[in-house]
């Protein structure tokens, strides 16, 4: 048999010598408006945040100078901006007073500054796309380093290029914020956007996880971190029908599925490591339709980084935005390089918090605790017990520490209990609530839940 070499598609057009996307006329209008009027400059600034969005270097210099003058309270105008440029030694480089007056003369109306600024911003976005394509090609051709790191860098370049240009400001006066604020107060600030915890007892302290919050769940090994992660995921996706994602670094996707089915079908988790009995299959089959229908995503990549999480959340936001994201667990993530491990973790938690705000979603991050608490008499973990970094407790809006009494004392009368210590809560009270640990079903439940086993001790 003769094999034919594959034919490669020819490019749509040869862009080797093409100029990057730009519109010099729109840039001149924007510059002309910005140097004449403070209100026009404010409008433009809300759309064009970076002087580099201008294609012509002279426009970058003029725009940056006008913004700096406005920030210092200096009056604008072609004459005043030209004097400032001359003082900085930039006058001749940008074309002097003649060019500034030329730009000002091109402005059809100051009120149209925003329209032309959006054209400039859109052309800048196209240039970033071209630049990202070039960077991604270079990354692919170079191919130096771990493949997961290479792909993360490529994703980050693509994400940065496809980020839509900002067209609105977040800076608002109290008067501007008041209508929406009153609406939220009247409708009840809590219900709609909050994700309630999976346990009713915990809701006494935490009614719900709010979009933009970073929630840290800390525990020693075997104390229920992964159990709580899957409980939250099941509660959101299966019982509320909302989309969620679990980034699982400790368990494979199949292991997470074992825990979902163990909890939902009430089949002993240990049985999933061998062939299921007929009655167990019947329980799993009965649970399958609701599990399959749940908008639940499990990402069990072996190397999950901040860029990877951001890429996944952005991809979901285009289809069905996640209402909650869970990371199990922090210390296993691929982290930014830094001088110390503590600095790496601090950079990671800071970026996770920013990511929660960026995607308007609560992010639950599980974290290991230090061994030091084992030497304490009460064994109840606190904020200072987060392993390797105090930044976790600083960045988290809510911190929940898990304590399983029987881990420290097999003969304790509190066997089968799991303490949920709310050690930090910026929006509510602190305290300890207790649930029943049904770890054989890979779950925990409230003691007054019909699924609870026997009366509470």
Residues of the chain with pLDDT under 70: 1-17, 145-146, 148-149, 152, 159-172, 184-192, 372-378, 387-390, 454-457
CA 380 to chain centre: 30
This prediction's pTM:
0.65
> Looking at the domain assignment, is residue 347 inside a domain?
yes
Token pair in block for residue 406? 């029987």
* pLDDT value at residue 2: 43
What pLDDT is attached to residue 161?
65
Regarding whether 205 and 109 lie in a shared domain, the answer is: no
Helix ranges (H only) for 48-112 are 57-71, 78-87, 91-94, 96-105
Q: 3-state DSSP: the chain helix, strand, coil percent, rounded to 5?
A: 50, 15, 35
Q: What is the pLDDT of residue 214?
A: 94
Question: What are the angstrom distances between the C-alpha of 237 and each of 44, 260, 291?
Answer: 42, 11, 9
SS3 108: coil
User: What pLDDT sits at residue 400?
Assistant: 92
Same domain, 134 and 263: no
Tell me how far apart the alpha carbons of residues 65 and 43 are, in angstroms, rounded to a whole number: 16
Q: Which of 162, 191, 215 is the last residue of a domain?
A: 162
Same domain assignment for residues 157 and 257: no
Q: Which residues contact 209 (CB under 8 A, 6 or more apart)?
A: 194, 195, 196, 197, 215, 324, 362, 364, 398
Distance of CA 196 to the CA centre of its chain: 19
Q: Do both 272 and 377 map to the same domain?
A: yes
Report the pLDDT value the prediction gives residue 67, as an integer from 0 to 100: 87
- CATH at residue 147: 1.10.860.10
pLDDT of 394:
82
Short-list 450, 382, 372, CA closest to 419: 382
| Residues listed for the chain | 457
Domain that holds residue 110: 24-162
Residue 174 forms part of a structural domain: no
């Amino acid at each position: 048999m003769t094999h034919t070499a594959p034919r490669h598609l020819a490019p749509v057009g040869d862009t080797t010598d093409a100029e990057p996307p730009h519109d010099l006329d729109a840039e001149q209008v924007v510059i002309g408006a910005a140097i004449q009027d403070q209100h026009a400059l404010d409008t433009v600034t809300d759309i064009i945040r970076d002087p580099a969005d201008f294609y012509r270097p002279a426009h970058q210099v003029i725009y940056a100078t006008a913004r700096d003058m406005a920030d210092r309270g200096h009056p604008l105008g072609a004459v005043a901006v030209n004097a400032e440029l001359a003082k900085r030694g930039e006058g001749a480089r940008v074309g002097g007073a003649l060019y500034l007056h030329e730009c000002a003369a091109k402005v059809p109306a100051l009120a149209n500054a925003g329209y032309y600024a959006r054209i400039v911003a859109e052309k800048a976005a196209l240039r970033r796309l071209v630049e990202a394509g070039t960077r991604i090609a270079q990354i692919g051709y170079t191919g130096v380093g771990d493949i997961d790191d290479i792909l993360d860098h490529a994703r980050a370049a693509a994400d940065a290029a496809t980020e839509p240009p900002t067209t609105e400001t977040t800076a608002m006066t109290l008067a501007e914020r008041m209508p929406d604020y009153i609406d939220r107060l009247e409708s009840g600030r809590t219900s709609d956007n909050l994700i309630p915890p999976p346990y009713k007892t915990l809701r006494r302290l935490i009614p719900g996880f709010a979009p933009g919050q970073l929630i840290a769940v800390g525990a020693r090994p075997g104390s229920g971190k992964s159990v709580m992660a899957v409980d939250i995921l099941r509660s959101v996706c299966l019982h509320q029908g909302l989309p969620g994602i679990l980034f699982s670094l400790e368990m494979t996707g199949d292991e997470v599925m074992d825990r979902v089915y163990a909890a939902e079908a009430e089949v002993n988790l240990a049985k999933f490591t061998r062939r299921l009995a007929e009655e167990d299959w019947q329980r799993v089959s009965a649970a399958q339709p609701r599990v399959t229908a749940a908008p639940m995503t499990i990402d069990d990549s072996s190397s999950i980084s901040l860029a990877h999480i951001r890429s996944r959340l952005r991809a979901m936001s285009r289809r069905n935005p996640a209402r909650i994201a869970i990371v199990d667990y922090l210390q296993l993530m691929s982290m930014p390089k830094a001088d110390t491990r503590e600095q790496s973790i601090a950079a990671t938690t800071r970026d996770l918090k920013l990511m929660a705000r960026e995607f308007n979603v609560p992010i639950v991050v599980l974290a290991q605790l230090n061994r030091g608490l084992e030497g304490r008499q009460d064994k109840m973990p606190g904020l200072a017990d987060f392993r390797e970094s105090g930044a976790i407790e600083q960045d988290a809006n809510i911190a929940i520490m898990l304590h399983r009494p029987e881990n420290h004392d097999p003969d304790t009368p509190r066997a089968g209990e799991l303490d949920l210590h709310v050690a930090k809560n910026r929006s509510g009270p602190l305290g300890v609530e207790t649930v029943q640990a049904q770890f054989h079903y890979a779950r925990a439940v409230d003691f007054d839940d019909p699924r609870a086993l026997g009366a509470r001790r």
